[in-house]
Amino acid sequence: MARRKLVYEGKAKILYEGPEPGTLVQYFKDDATAGNGEKKDVIDGKGVLNNRLSEFFMTGLAGVGVPTHFIKRLNMREQLIRQVEIIPLEVIVRNVAAGSMSKRLGIEEGTPLPRPIIEFCYKDDKLGDPLVAEEHIIAFGWASQQDLDDIVALALRVNDFMSGCMMAVGIKLVDFKIEIGRVWDNDFQRLILADEISPDSCRLWDIETGKKLDKDVFRRDLGSLADAYTEVARRLGVLPANSGPVTRPTLIN
Instruction: State the pLDDT at residue 4.
Output: 85
Q: What is the C-alpha to C-alpha distance for residues 247 and 34, in angstroms, rounded to an integer?
A: 21
194 and 182 Cβ atoms separated by less than 8 Å = no
Average pLDDT value for residue range 70-90: 97
Lowest mean pLDDT: which of 29-33, 83-87, 242-246? 242-246
Strand, helix or coil at 139?
helix
Residue 145, pLDDT above cutoff 70: yes
Instruction: State the pLDDT at residue 187.
Output: 83
pLDDT tens digit sequence for 12-23: 999 999 999 999
Instruction: State the pLDDT at residue 251.
Output: 46
pLDDT band at 163 (very low <50, low <70, confident <90, very high): very high
Residue 220, class by beta-carbon neighbours within 10 Å (0-12 exposed, 13-18 middle, 19+ buried)? exposed
pLDDT band at 106 (very low <50, low <70, confident <90, very high): very high
Residue 95, pLDDT above cutoff 80: yes
